[in-house]
Structure formats: C-alpha cells, structure tokens
Amino acid sequence: MIFSQEAGRGIREPMNSQGALKRKKIISNGGGETTELLISGDLHRGSNQCIWSQLSKEVASNLSKSVVSLALPNGQELACSGIALECVGNVTRFLTSASLARALIGNRSDHDNLKVEVRLGRDVITGFLGEYDLDHEIAVVNVMSVLDVHVVLLNNPAKLEPGCKVVALGHGISGDVMATEGILTDNSSGELKLSTCNISKVYEGGALFDFGGNFFGMNLFRDSEGTFFLPARMVLHWLTRFTSLRRIKFPVRSDFFRAVRVGQRFTAEVRNSNSNQEVHRYVPDMDQYEELGYPKPSISMLNDGMVLINTFEDPFGDECGEGVWRELSETTSSNIHENIVALASFNGETRFSACTGFFIEWNGCSTVLTSASLVRKSGYENKIVENLRIEVLLPTKKRVEGTLQHYDLHYNVALVSVKGFHASHPAKIQHLWDDDCDVVAVGYCFKSGKLMAARGEQFGMPVTLDCKYLCYSTCKITKAGIGGPLLDFDGRFIGMNFYEKKVGTPFLLWREILDVLEHFKTEGSVAKVDHAGKPSCLPGWTMAEDCSVRPNSWPVPEPSWCHPDDPKIQSTGSLAVYMNGWKELYV
C-alpha cells in the first residue's frame, strides 16, 4: 500500500498500485475551502438505531463512552476520533491516528498549537498532544481531567476471524457518536487489517469492536474495499514504546478537582486498562470549591485545561503498602497507622486549612502534635483564625471534633486534644543521638484518607525560612504533609515537617519541640491564656538563644489555577542546598 499526504492537512489517503490518488467526494464551502461529505452511519443520538439495537444495553453504553472527538483549535479543518486508552491519577489518555500529530506539528509555532479540542458528548475539554509514532500511525492525547469514559482493554487482544461481524465507531464534533457495521475480511496490508465498514474521515482514529464489545483495533482510512485498521495487538505492541501515564510526572492535581460542566454533579465510571474493576469518583459543583477554601474557576479556565495547584489534597511519595512502606518493618508500619491523624480547621462552614498530625505522649495523656499553620490566620504571623472549629480524621477513618489546647505561632507548633480516643502507640519525643540516617516523612490526607510517605536524607542548614532552628530533608512532600512526623526507618521520631518548595522539606527537631512542649506545661491551655493581648509585632515566648525581634514567618503557598505549562509548577527534581545564604550544591 502506497500513501500520499494532503498538503497542509496532514491526512494520508491510499493510492492504487498505479499511483492514482483515490479521492473521496467533497463539496465546496464557496470560500475556496473544501469539506468532506460525511458518509451517513448510524447516529447514536439520531433516528437510525439499527446498529445500537443489536447490542446489549451494557455493550452499547460502554461503546458509546469509548470514543471522543478530537479537533484542531481555532476553527482549523482537521477533526477525527479518539479512543479512551488509560486513566491514571488525574489524567485521561486517548489513542488516535497520527494524522492529528502531523497537522499539529505542521502548524506549530508555540505550545498553544499542541492543544487539541476534546469533545465528549456536548462537553469540550482542552487536551494536549502527547507521544506519537508517524511511521506506525498512532498518537496519544492527554487531558488533565478524569472523564466519564469507558477505557478499552488491550491486555488480551481478541483473535481476528474473517467473517466476524464488527462495528466501527466515530465521534462527531456535534457531540454525536456514530456507528457503521461490517465484517472482517482476510485482506491485509502489512500490519494493517481490513473490514468492510464504510467510514468517513470523522471515524479516523475511532474504535473497531465486535458486537460483544471486544476491542479489535483503531480505524485509519477507507479503501474501495472497506476500512483499514490497526489491530489491537499492534496497538499494544507499539504503545509499549510510549511512556505509561503511571511513569509520567504531570503537574499534581487532586482527584477531587477536574474540569466538568459548571453546576453539574455526577459519578464518573471509568475502567482501568489492566482490570475490569470500576472506579467511582465524585465531582463537586462550583460551590464546594469555596467551601473547601479554594478559588472558583471560571468556565473558560476549565475549558482551557487549567489545573488547581497547591491544594491540601495533593498526594506525595508512596501510598501505604507501596514503595517505601515495604522497607518498613511490620511493627513500624503498624505504629504509624495507629498514631497518625489528619486535621482540618474551619471558619464557620468554610474550610481554612488542613494538615497532618500524630499522637504523642505528653503530660500524662495522648495529644495530637501538629503544625500551628492549621490555625494561623492567612497573612498574619501572630493571629489565629476567628470562630475556629477543628475536625480530626482518626486512624479509624472516623471524623471527630478536636479542641485546640496550645499553640505557638513563632515556632509553628500546636497541640489538639480529642475526646473519646486513646492512641495505642503514641510517639515518644525523647533525646536521640544526632544521626544522618535515612528518614521518612509521613502524611495523611484529610479529604481522601490516603496515608502517604516519602523517603529522603537529612542535610545541612539552608537559610530560607525565618526560624533559625530548622533542619532540612530531601523528602518531597506536599501541603498535606505539613505537621506530619519525620521518622527514621525504625520508627523513632526525628522531628515535625513543614513545607517549603525551593530547597527541601524543613522540620523542627525533637529537642526544640521538647522545649516548646515544656513551655506549654507552664503556660496553661488556650482557654486560660489571653493570646490576643500579645503585641502582634513581638514573637512572645522564645527559647533561650533565640534573639528574634519579630514573629517567624511560615509561608504556605495559596491554592491557584494554572496552565499545565506554567513554569512555576514544573519541577526540576533537584533541591538546592544553601550554606550561609549561598547556593552550594544540588541534591
């Protein structure tokens, strides 16, 4: 089979053995442009229900959610279909024809020209061209959202039997899913196979299934005898050369936030490409962004594929049971499970902050040690949230009310009590030998209940935050890990983690925490101390060698919406270490 490419459009069409290009019927728009006349298949939402009526209800539902429309932005001509391929984290990946990549590459002048308009029903979402292979006619498009799609299964490609009845699917830019039927033939051209389905260009990149819902391949182009398609086994073969979503470092975006039609609530049902297990996710309406303390996105922001960064739900490291957790002893892992909590602070019904905490032995009872960032008023070093209410997510996943017992905004330490719960293995903050051992930072997400950990090493004393007593580790955490414990691999307490993006993860060592806790014993509880009477320009109580003349600043990045290409959310993966204010090395 010989191919030719239309100039400026990046669409390949077959040529016969004499080299004569086989043209499809076209009509003129009157302005010099031409548009291909669509061949009428069966519209899923139209009047012809012949093909869909032959499918079971489950198969019809799955097939209708397996394809999307992919189009060039800004009114450019090319439009084709894509196949839902993979859903991992907050990204949905679609397989399509390399024609899309050719067109985008030909028009590329900046990153905007790598954008793709992805249509799923009546919704339009911005996607981005990912990896592609022009020689083998495949490309992928990534969408920074979890969409309500049915992911095709590639791990066990169905056997292709000549005479098998098949259905070719396409998705129009109008929002309609189209289908046309045919049978498999024994004709082939290299790695491509042929069906008798009669398709148009809009079907290019769409899926071919049998009537039982088994994925047979991706439709490419129509020949006089039918439609050539890339079989599922070849799709799987060539995709193994691409980077799986499971290994791509996309900008972090919480499972809880994704682009959807404003005001809607629905449960997304997607299928993992490696299993038949359905995953159900809840998508909030716009009011819940405000309730969770996040800025509301506009419709244009969502449609432009913008992502919400610096949330309290951003994951880090390894989820419990994976990665570094396998290096911990069963006893250490169990003690962490039974000791860790997540906390959230509220002003009325609006969430203000969230972080991690852990039970410690203090003053004869089990109390939660956490960061005072939980209660600090935004923009103030020495004020706490008004009308404060605290909720605690216990190790049992039960949510209970917490009471602020003590806090020190200068050293960023707080104690929260919980009624009716006694930790079986509270952490012991005790004197340890200074040791440059490997460490693990632990975090617990208040919203999802995910328990996470990241490993790292301790390193020198960089000058980034105000507090002179901070040490740093190479553990990479998110805001969800603020207030969480830093432990050695035997489970011994090293310090409490805070957050800083540029250098590493700062933490307050056990010995300074012991000093703060000793001060709490003499100070009395929050209810008995008039913190409001302290001058806001002074740090209040300080340690013996602390000569601070103003409260330490503990900045925490605010949630914001950004484009995925924004430099401020692209990580180099390196940590700069500062000695006496000078950048010395990267780790």
Q: Which residue has the tokens 């509880």?
A: 525
**Residue 286's pLDDT is what?**
62
- Contacts (Cβ under 8 Å, ≥6 apart) of 394: 341, 400, 418, 421
Longest dimension (CA), the chain: 96
Mean pLDDT of 475-492: 95
Secondary structure class of 485 (helix, strand, coil): strand
Residue among 197, 218, 226 at smallest CA distance from 51: 197
**Residue 47's pLDDT is what?**
33
Mean pLDDT of 24-28: 28
Distant-in-sequence contacts of 154-161, Cβ < 8 A, 24+ apart = 154/85, 154/215, 154/232, 154/235, 154/236, 154/239, 154/273, 155/236, 155/273, 155/274, 157/215, 157/231, 157/232, 157/233, 157/236, 158/210, 158/214, 158/215, 158/216, 158/232, 160/184, 160/193, 160/216, 160/231
373 within 8 A of 412, measured Cβ to Cβ:
yes
496 within 8 A of 485, measured Cβ to Cβ:
yes
Say if strands 438-444 and 493-497 run parallel, antiparallel, or are unpaired.
unpaired
AA identity, residue 311:
T
Per the model's pLDDT, the better-predicted residue between 218 and 261 turns out to be: 218
pLDDT at 136 over 50: yes
Mean pLDDT of 282-310: 70
HSE-CB of 135 using CA atoms within 13 angstroms? 3
d(CA 439, CA 433): 14
Neighbours of 272 (CB within 10 A): 14
Q: Quick one: pLDDT band at residue 453, thresholds 50, 70, 90?
A: very high
Q: Quick one: pLDDT band at residue 366, thresholds 50, 70, 90?
A: confident
d(CA 49, CA 60): 11
38 within 8 A of 200, measured Cβ to Cβ:
yes
pLDDT at 448 over 70: yes
Per the model's pLDDT, the better-predicted residue between 475 and 274 turns out to be: 475
Residue among 400, 403, 492, 408 at smallest CA distance from 442: 492
Q: Please spell the DSSP secondary structure of 74-143, one letter per residue.
A: TT-S-EEEEEEEEEETTEEEEEE-THHHHHHHHH-SSGGGGEEEEEETTEEEEEEEEEEETTTTEEEEEE
